[in-house]
Chains A and B, each alone.
Chain A
Amino acid sequence: MGFIHPYDRPNSYIGRTLPRSRAKRAVAGRGRYTDDITPPRTLHAAFVRSPYAHARILKIDVEAAKAAPGVKLVMTGAELAEMCTGPWIGTLTVFENMKAEPQYPMAVDRACWHGEPVVMIIAETRAQAEDAGELVMVDYEELPVVINKDTALNAGSPVIHANLGDNKAWENTLGSGDVDKAFAEADHVLEETFYFGRHTAVSLEPRIVLCEYDQGTERLTIHTSSQCPHMIETVFARTLGVPEHNVRIVAPDVGGSFGLKIHTFGDEVAATAAAIKLGRPVKFVADRLESFVSDIHARENRVKAKIGIMNDGTMIAAEIDDLSGAGAYSQYPRTSVFEANQILNITFGPYKHPNYRAKATVVYLNAVPTSQYRAVGHPIGISVGEHMMDWAADVTGLDPFEIRRKNVMEDDSYPRNIGSGIPIKDLSHQACLEKLHGLMEYDKLLAEQAELRENGIYRGIGVAGFIKGTAPSPVGYYGAGGARIAAQDATTVKLEPSGGIIVALGVTDQGQGVDTVMEQIAAAAIGCHMDQVRAISGDTDAIPYGGGTYASRATAIGGEATYQAALDLRREILHMAGILLQTDPENLDIVDGNVVDDGSTDARIPLSEIGRIGHFQLGELPNDYQPVLSHTRRYRLQDSPYIYTNGIHGAYVEVDVDTGWIKHLKHWVVEDCGRIINEQLADEQIRGGCVQGLGGALYEHCIYNDYGQLQNGTMADYVTPMMSEMPDIHVGHVQTPTSESELGAKGAGESGTGAAPGVMMNAVNNAIKPLTEGRVTEQPITPELVLKALRKI
């Protein structure tokens, strides 16, 4: 049936731009975030954190802190460890030979990064807790620090965790073909080394938990700014020994997440433990200073890349060697090595080179643990691959579009594998490339660029294609890998007595518009008006078990579950209507919330009547039919590890070649995220993602000194993209529905972040090319790097 094709029937909401239900209250200042909820007698947590990157904790004196005004509890890491069922170990079976040190929620006898929580204070107010924190005396013995990934594996390097033998977390190699032979045959072999500065999510709403423990019912309720309520439920329950079914996690409005809020953090576990111990609500808000030293970091990488090119521009081989600097521990439960693995998976992913070899080495450092952050690994892999592609274009005298035309996988060539061995299908590199070429008026830009160069104005045009892994399946990393994180997701669609439809989602909404998208899918599938449908998400007491929102999966996975559940409900409604109307359900349809004769719009029985009878007047139905009117469907990918998407970015920048300043003039994206449910929401995901990627490309960098201390842990010093410097972003689409699902939606949330850094680096290098042999190969691209590439300093 044609429920998913736009505009071909009433209630065809799929593909339409509709406003988000949550937006209206947010603009009135009446959003409800966790910090807006403060039950009576709530206490507040603050943490004493290690000022050292690596130190033994010799003695902790908490007496003065305990006596400070308002203080209700002072807890050390050792005391907290006794309340835990055991430490976390951030390994997964899918990562063969991976090593990780057990980690307790707070440091027990050793602090391993600057910012690791050491002592928790619970007091009547946050200010009082911080006052008391200043009275805690900790004797530290400083230990040797490992902060440079390049030397972390050298003989003689200090070893952070003696039990692991060395600082290596994991090593992996993959590929296909005969790379060495191909390099030997290539007309040109190009080699380059790239550096990427560690950065972090900086969600505007920081991490927060509000923990309540009812000692009577033994129920633990945690309101938290989370993307993955069920995962939090599982991890917190198991860590603190509370039965999982006694735990309720509520994620109300979430003020930005970007992957930060798929993780579990020791300070949050500590606050939960305090609530259990005290029997009073405990709130912990990571303030901005502690966010920088405790939120996961990401993307500290060095990548060596090598490609083999023929004179006609054909790439015949590619090799990368990634070195990732993880933090002091492997982040539980997702690990700190997945980012490296994604780099191996997707680098050069758009191209049909037959020979590929990729190696990743992940090392521990005395720094904040790293893990998944929006577009995991992709910004690095795409920057590297697309830089090499542009360089190859230069060497072979081809235009950047031309060399990509020559090397991308053809749109009619799927299914197939990419060099890393990953199976892909339903992609559209060629269509996207041509669409971008037109959208950015490329030839006109080239002419303008040439003209301005005559006047000493150096503008650069960048292009960067990509593939993006979205909506992971349970066969690889999740589930099969050992993590108790659902890669399936579920939706329950219910008909209420009023005729209203409740859509309870395992996936969650952090402002992307997931609730609205699911309402659109359900309304379209059932055949009712949007106003009749209400989505519920983020409350584990009210939703089916699901993985939540991560890895661009909400619409692709949760959307299909919603679609199928809504179709089930539709079938039952029609079945019941058939009984009531004594008609074959095959001859009925649902339009605008009314059961109608197929092909007609005249109401025969409204959903409100079905609801009323189905809930209250069951006597009107035959005895052999007990209406359910509540349908849950689960969905997972079956054969593919991911639903891959593709697209291409264009950027137009101006470089001040005397100062190194970059002005980003215009940005274009052509994206194939499969079936689009709500175009505006998809576009805004892409735009927001781009700017987040541009932040990493241009500004963002967690800078550590040699002692492992974070040097720029404030929003004044950690530079994020603001409105003045960011460009307008023009978005176009190619829609190739995924053949994995009926709905056909792929993920859209991360690819902007994935490709924007690469296109920026290419545009900058394109701008300075007439003046220098130098190229920028490091991010963030500071003016200093540009000046160095220009040989000006």
Chain B
Amino acid sequence: MKAPKFSYIRADSLDHALELLDKHGEDARILAGGQSLMPTLNMRLSQPEVLVDINRLNDLKGISLDGDTVVIGALTRHIDVMNSDIVAEHLPLIAEAMPHVAHVAIRNRGTIGGSIALSDPAAEMPACALALGATLIVQSSSGKREIPAEEFFHGLYETARAENELLVEIRYPSQKKDNVSVFMELARRHGDYAIAGVCAYGKVSGNMVEDMRLVYFASEDRPIIGENAVAALNGKAWCDETKDAVTSALENDLDPMANLHGSATMKMHLQKVLTGRVMDTAVTRAGGAS
């Protein structure tokens, strides 16, 4: 189980990396944390001509606060996100999600940008980015683009990023003072990819729910906003009746993919259960009675 032959180029600057992506096009793969790419190489599921190692691009690492925006460099390791005070204070959703991301040795290497750019449908970071309304900054030799998370995730491992673009930065609006966030997922074992998962982010006053965004992952081909569920939720008091309405509406949002870990029916059921639970928790966190 040895990787196939490839060329390896260590990018020594962002410009160098972008130049390499221009030059090699679809023959190149970006090697960031490598925690998803390396297994596919070892298994020969992926046979790129060139690996462009961006790990030395230190400008792409780091977490900072820019006014009401938390700026996370794409090459920031999961472990640094997990341990960040800024994230804990301003992006509690991500802080809550991060312990679910694999295991310590993977978090020490894996990067938040890599996770978002790969767009595994069961991964936590794409869902969080969507729930928080993050902006993804991608860059090519011809310049930067800002892509709202709502437009970034196109499908199974497909995103709005072009082949010659590198995800360089994620900009998250800091969690508003009167907002709450809740992250929940179900995985067979700790650290596994989820079978079902929900992020909730929005405002709850007492039991009244406003501007709540519910993002579902692991059941579809990408993280998605439960538009109908949200429509049935916002402006309502959270109660059994609302819960029923929201979970019914959810059936129009989701079309779960069956896989080895569960049928579509089960995944729909689990997403409904999680919907109830995240909202119960959201109300509790907001100080209301669930």
Contact = CB atoms under 8 A, between A and B. Distances in A.
Given A712-B260, A787-B269, A719 B43 contact: no
B145 interface: no
Interface residues of B, number: 24
Given A131-B4, A288-B1, A725 B265 contact: no
Contacts of B195: 783
Shortest Cβ-Cβ A-B pairs, 7 listed: A287-B1, A724-B190, A127-B2, A658-B273, A784-B266, A793-B269, A793-B265
B270 A131 contact: no
27 contacts: A125-B2, A130-B2, A287-B1, A289-B43, A290-B1, A659-B270, A659-B273, A699-B189, A711-B260, A712-B260, A714-B43, A716-B39, A719-B188, A719-B189, A719-B192, A722-B191, A724-B190, A725-B189, A725-B190, A782-B261, A782-B262, A783-B195, A783-B266, A784-B262, A784-B263, A787-B266, A793-B269
Contacts of A792: 269
A349 B273 CA distance: 42
A775 interface: no
Contacts of B56: none
Contacts of A659: 186, 270, 273
B260 A717 contact: yes
Contacts of A716: 39
B176 interface: no
B84 to A, nearest CB: 24
Interface string A589-609: 000000000000000000000
A429 interface: no
Contacts of A398: none
A703 interface: yes
A49 interface: no
Residue with the highest number of chain B CB atoms closer than 10 Å, among A288, A716, A721, A784: A784
Interface residues of A, number: 32
A662 to B, nearest CB: 10
Contacts of B260: 703, 711-712, 717
Contacts of B43: 289, 714
B23 interface: no
Interface of B: 1-5, 39, 43-44, 186, 188-192, 195, 260-263, 265-266, 269-270, 273
Nearest to B195: A783
Contact of A722 (B189, B261, B269, B270): B189
A45 B125 CA distance: 40
Contact of B2 (A126, A703, A722, A783): A126
A722 B1 CA distance: 23
Contacts of B262: 782-784
A714 B269 CA distance: 27
A194 interface: no
A33 interface: no
A95 interface: no
Residue with the highest number of chain B CB atoms closer than 10 Å, among A126, A131, A711, A787: A787
A787 B273 CA distance: 12
A287 B190 CA distance: 25
Describe B's contact surface by its main secondary structure: loop
A721 B192 CA distance: 12
A661 B269 CA distance: 13
Contacts of A787: 266, 269
Nearest to B260: A712
Interface in A715-768: 716-717, 719, 721-722, 724-725
Contacts of A699: 188-189
Interface of A: 125-127, 130-131, 134, 287-290, 658-661, 699, 703, 711-712, 714, 716-717, 719, 721-722, 724-725, 782-784, 787, 792-793
Given A714-B43, A725-B189, A793 B5 contact: no
A569 B269 CA distance: 69
Contacts of A127: 2-3
A451 to B, nearest CB: 23
B135 to A, nearest CB: 31
Contacts of B39: 716
Nearest to A286: B1
Nearest to A206: B1
B5 A131 contact: yes
B232 to A, nearest CB: 20
Contacts of A125: 2
A793 B273 CA distance: 12
A125 B2 CA distance: 10
A700 to B, nearest CB: 11
Nearest to B272: A658
Contact of A661 (B3, B4, B186): B186
Nearest to A716: B39
Contacts of B3: 127
Contacts of B189: 699, 719, 721-722, 724-725
A755 to B, nearest CB: 23
A27 B74 CA distance: 38
A180 B191 CA distance: 52
Nearest to A712: B260
Contacts of A712: 260
A287 B42 CA distance: 10
B218 to A, nearest CB: 13
A721 B265 CA distance: 25
Given A661-B186, A784-B262, 19 more contacts: A127-B3, A134-B44, A288-B1, A289-B1, A660-B266, A703-B260, A712-B260, A722-B190, A722-B191, A724-B190, A725-B189, A782-B261, A782-B262, A783-B266, A783-B270, A784-B266, A787-B269, A792-B269, A793-B263
A596 B265 CA distance: 77
A710 to B, nearest CB: 11
Contacts of A719: 188-189, 192
Contacts of B190: 722, 724-725
Contacts of B4: 130-131, 134
Nearest to A285: B1
A793 B2 contact: no
Given A658-B273, A659-B273, A793 B188 contact: no
A712 B259 CA distance: 11
B193 to A, nearest CB: 8
